[in-house]
């Protein structure tokens, strides 16, 4: 990726990671980007860096604009290694004694990643750095996505450098949201559901605080994906909606299967749900990546989980998904469990235990069948699904809002 001027004197010097398919357990089917920004003024600032293996590309991109040694200050909005992995190379090129601006926790966390004694300049919310005609203002944004995270705001240009906030794991030819259109929202939503959902309450509070500051927001530049310039307010509004976690009238049937018995149950339950008019999708965990399933769960009211019993326990993919979902703490869900077994049949109770731990209200007792489900059992599964559909219909509907 060559550097792109995103505003007069402001460049995206980041890189595209076209081929990454697994980003710490998140499926990145279209790759991602690590955006980094160069602000040219009397002082030159570099905001964020990129993953370690792309350091050369970042340095080449900077060098296409200015000799890296002329950079006066490096800003690290977030310590995670997709944004700081090439910091050692960058600081070596820029000058080890140059100021490295970050949050107080950023200074601590960077020091736990890098042994170099850099010239850390820890800043807090409201502190500013004059670059010349332009000013960078800093805002601590803990847990978007680590405790060290902060945003940097280029006041005179109305540009917010938002690190992980408002990002999308998407690599394409586009630089800006208006070049891809609403198709980008699918990626922004998946990113929120899998990276930020856990912090939704906190994020909502933070966005409301920022809204009270009445910032002139002309562009939002996340460190992943495209830049929001057509209507930055749109992604901010979408985040406010997503933070509320108001589910739509839909369900997801999530399962794995050994000899297709649990799968037959899943299909019958799904058909029962759909017979009530509630959209639902059966998702086999060996076909669907956990992060795709979580995106489906995000705006579903009912989460229906099925597992065969394997060695007196859950099937491993189901245990994996439940562990993943539990960590993200989805709210406002109903649930139910089902599964087939050979002789002991513990899995359904174990799923119910996990759902209850997640404060997911169980619609009805779990449904088990021994070995292959016969017609009577499949009819019972269909009825089980109908009850789930009716429970979904009986609840509030966020409808289109949930599906933004």
Q: Which residues are catalytic?
A: 24, 78, 80, 82, 145, 164, 191, 224
Q: Does 17 bind ligand FEO (CB under 6 A)?
A: no
Q: Which of 80, 256, 267, 354 binds ligand FEO (CB under 6 A)?
A: 80
DSSP state of 196: I
Burial 269-292 (b: 16+ CB within 10 A, else e): bbbbbbebebebbbbbbeebbbbb
Nearest to 166 by CA among 184, 180, 153, 178: 184
Query: Distance between CA atoms of 105 and 82, rounded to whole angstroms?
Result: 17
Q: Evaluate whether 341 touches 370 at the Cβ level (below 8 Å).
A: yes
Q: Does 223 bind ligand FEO (CB under 6 A)?
A: yes
Rounded least distance, CB 120 to ligand FEO, Å: 20
Question: Between 14 and 232, whose beta carbon lies closer to ligand FEO?
Answer: 14
Q: Which of 48, 82, 263, 346 binds ligand FEO (CB under 6 A)?
A: 82
Query: Distance between CA atoms of 175 and 135, rounded to whole angstroms?
Result: 24
CB-closest chain residue to ligand FEO? 80
Question: Between 160 and 334, whose beta carbon lies closer to ligand FEO?
Answer: 160
Within 229-258, the residues that bind ligand FEO by CB under 6 A are: none
Helix axes 290-298, 184-191, angle to 10 degrees: 100
Q: Does 145 bind ligand FEO (CB under 6 A)?
A: yes
Q: Which of 78, 93, 189, 382 binds ligand FEO (CB under 6 A)?
A: 78
Nearest to 200 by CA among 250, 242, 155: 242
Task: Indicate the pairing of strand 15-17 with strand 32-34.
Answer: antiparallel
Rounded least distance, CB 72 to ligand FEO, Å: 25
**Window 91-130: contact mask with ligand FEO (x via CB under 6 A):** ----------------------------------------
Q: Does 51 bind ligand FEO (CB under 6 A)?
A: no
Rounded least distance, CB 70 to ligand FEO, Å: 27
Within 164-203, the residues that bind ligand FEO by CB under 6 A are: 164
Question: Between 20 and 322, whose beta carbon lies closer to ligand FEO?
Answer: 20
Tokens of 44: 């030159």
Nearest to 1 by CA among 119, 171, 164, 200: 171
Q: Does 83 bind ligand FEO (CB under 6 A)?
A: yes
How many amino acids of this chain bind ligand FEO (CB under 6 A)? 9
Phi-psi region of 166 (alpha: psi -120 to 50; beta: other; left: phi over 0): left
Q: Which residues here bind ligand FEO, judged by CB under 6 A?
A: 78, 80, 82-83, 145-146, 164, 223-224
């Amino acid at each position: 990726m060559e550097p792109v001027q995103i505003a007069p004197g402001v460049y995206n010097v980041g890189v595209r990671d076209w081929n990454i398919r697994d980003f710490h357990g998140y499926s990145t089917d279209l790759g991602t980007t690590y955006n980094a920004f160069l602000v040219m003024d009397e002082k030159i600032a570099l905001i964020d860096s990129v993953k370690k293996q792309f350091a050369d590309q970042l340095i080449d991109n900077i060098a296409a604009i200015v000799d890296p040694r002329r950079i006066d200050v490096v800003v690290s909005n977030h310590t995670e290694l997709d944004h700081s992995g090439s910091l050692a190379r960058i600081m070596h090129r820029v000058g080890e004694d140059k100021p490295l601006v970050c949050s107080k926790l950023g200074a601590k966390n960077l020091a736990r990643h890098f042994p170099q004694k850099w010239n850390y300049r820890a800043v807090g919310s409201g502190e500013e750095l004059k670059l010349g005609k332009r000013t960078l203002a800093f805002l601590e944004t803990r847990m978007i996505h680590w405790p060290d995270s902060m945003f940097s705001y280029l006041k005179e240009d109305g540009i917010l450098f938002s690190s992980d906030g408002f990002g999308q794991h998407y690599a394409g030819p586009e630089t800006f949201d208006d070049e891809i259109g609403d198709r980008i929202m699918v990626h922004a939503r998946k990113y929120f559901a899998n990276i930020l959902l856990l912090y939704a309450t906190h994020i909502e509070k933070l966005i409301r605080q920022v809204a009270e500051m009445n910032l002139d927001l002309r562009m939002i530049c996340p460190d992943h994906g495209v830049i929001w310039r057509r209507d930055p307010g749109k992604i901010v509004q979408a985040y406010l909606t997503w933070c509320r976690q108001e589910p739509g009238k839909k369900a997801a049937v999530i399962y794995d299967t050994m000899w297709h018995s649990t799968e037959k149950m899943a299909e019958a339950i799904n058909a029962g749900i759909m017979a009530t008019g509630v959209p639902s999708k059966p998702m086999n965990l060996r076909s669907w990546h956990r992060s795709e399933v979580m995106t489906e769960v995000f705006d579903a009211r009912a989460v229906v989980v099925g597992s065969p019993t394997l060695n007196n326990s859950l099937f491993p993919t189901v245990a994996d998904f439940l562990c993943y979902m539990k960590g993200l703490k989805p709210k406002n869900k109903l649930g139910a469990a089902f599964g087939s077994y050979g002789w002991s049949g513990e899995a359904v109770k174990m799923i119910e235990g996990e759902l209850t731990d997640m404060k997911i209200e169980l619609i009805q007792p779990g449904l088990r069948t021994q070995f292959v489900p016969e017609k009577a059992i499949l009819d019972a599964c269909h009825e089980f699904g109908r009850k789930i559909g009716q429970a979904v219909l009986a609840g509030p509907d966020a409808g289109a809002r949930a599906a933004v």
